[in-house]
């Protein structure tokens, strides 16, 4: 459908290379309208491409007026994008029929352009730099620091002291806290031979990076490299299984597979090792302007993997009250195979 309406910032950015937190974007065949308030019009006129910027003190009224003037019969919208109140206001006393199509913008963005892949690679590189800086801090000053303090340091190091936005709030988890996939930082302190899980990412020109490393705490040689030598035998055993599962999927993922088959590549390894019930989330998710995009890599997805799709491969094993291990990289499908960004 050529007529659609957007309110999501990243969806709007994808259409016109600019967005803000108070905007309605209308695409009516060949006419595009960026409707915003006086706080944003100067920048919108400077940066928004191929659309008419309209300043308004009431975005909904202005939108309705444009729809009426253009005699628009039908318009597509994403029901995840609008509050119920906004939807009611928009559709009230209007002859235009609103057609709900969930996630149509994410579907549009599932195959990345070469330019987008370059930006995602750059984001991944900056993300890796952030992990290196955080590792350096942990080697020098990490001993006895709390998860909360290390979480603050993850913010600082990942963002290059505020030069970059982070793509989500970092996860910093020690030992049994790492058994919670989205652990909140506590006042638990970092000690020698602890297991430390860090999940973090940054944005470069709005495109996200996403990576998880699980490491053994050794204050002389500490690193977020994939090769880890744990003193605790169970830590090592579980770590090796998760790494094997992750590498199996990265090595064997192919264009033409279903997303569920990619999920199976990690899940089978973990299930064969007897830890199947402790792998409690999907294998991965698309990454782009949003940290969670399409495709979704889970056991139910029939989506066919195509070249230029970008997604994470992040198996994990979580043993409640003991510890958890997750290993994650963001990959791009190119020439039929998975390449780590």
Q: What is the pLDDT of residues 246-268, one digit of tens each?
A: 999 999 999 999 999 999 999 99
pLDDT tens-digit readout, 275-304: 999 999 999 999 999 999 999 999 999 999
pLDDT tens-digit readout, 225-239: 999 999 999 999 999
Which residues does 156 contact at the CB level (< 8 Å), separation at least 6? Answer: 162
Residue 26 has pLDDT above 80, yes or no: yes
Q: Please, are residues 326 and 197 in contact by the beta-carbon 8 Å criterion?
A: yes
* 114-141 helix and 147-158 helix, angle to the nearest 10 degrees: 140
pLDDT tens-digit readout, 137-192: 999 999 999 999 999 999 999 999 889 999 999 999 999 999 999 999 999 999 99
How many residues are recorded in the chain? 341
- CA distances 175 to 89, 151, 214, 315, Å, are 50, 15, 10, 17
The closest of 253, 259, 224, 51 to 133, measured between CA atoms, is 224
In this prediction, residue 30 carries a pLDDT of 86
Kind of pairing between the strands at 74-77 and 97-100: parallel
Residue 1 has pLDDT above 80, yes or no: no
pTM of the model: 0.94
pLDDT tens-digit readout, 188-219: 999 999 999 999 999 999 999 999 999 999 98
In this prediction, residue 251 carries a pLDDT of 98
In this prediction, residue 220 carries a pLDDT of 87
Residue recorded with tokens 């963002």? 159
The mean pLDDT value of the chain amounts to 97
């Amino acid at each position: 459908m050529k007529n659609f309406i957007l309110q999501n910032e990243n969806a709007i950015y994808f259409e016109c290379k600019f967005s803000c937190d108070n905007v309605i974007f209308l695409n009516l065949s060949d006419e595009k309208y960026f409707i915003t308030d006086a706080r944003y019009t100067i920048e919108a006129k400077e940066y928004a491409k191929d659309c008419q910027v309209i300043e308004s003190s009431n975005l909904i009224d202005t939108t309705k007026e444009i729809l009426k003037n253009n005699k628009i019969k039908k318009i597509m919208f994403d029901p995840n994008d609008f509050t119920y109140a906004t939807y009611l206001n928009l559709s009230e006393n209007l002859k235009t029929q609103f057609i709900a199509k969930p996630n149509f913008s994410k579907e549009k963005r599932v195959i990345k352009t070469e330019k987008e892949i370059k930006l995602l690679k750059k984001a991944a590189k900056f993300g890796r730099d952030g992990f290196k800086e955080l590792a350096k801090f942990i080697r020098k000053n990490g001993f006895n620091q709390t998860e909360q303090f290390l979480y603050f340091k993850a913010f600082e190091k990942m963002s290059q002291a505020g030069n970059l936005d982070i793509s989500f709030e970092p996860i910093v988890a020690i030992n049994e806290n790492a058994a919670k996939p989205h652990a909140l930082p506590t006042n638990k302190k970092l000690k020698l031979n602890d297991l430390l899980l860090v999940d973090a990412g940054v944005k470069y020109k709005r495109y996200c990076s996403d990576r998880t490393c699980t490491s053994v705490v050794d204050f002389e040689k500490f690193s977020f490299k994939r090769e880890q030598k744990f003193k605790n035998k169970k830590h090592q055993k579980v770590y090796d299984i998760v790494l094997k599962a992750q590498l199996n999927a990265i090595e064997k993922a192919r264009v033409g597979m279903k997303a569920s088959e990619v999920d199976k590549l990690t899940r089978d390894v973990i299930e064969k090792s007897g830890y199947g019930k402790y792998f409690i989330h999907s294998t991965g998710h698309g990454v782009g302007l949003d940290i969670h995009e399409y495709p979704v890599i889970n056991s139910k997805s029939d989506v066919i993997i195509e070249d230029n799709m970008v997604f994470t491969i992040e198996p994990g094993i979580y043993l409640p009250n003991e510890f958890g291990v997750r290993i994650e990289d963001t990959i791009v499908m190119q020439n039929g195979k998975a390449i780590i960004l």
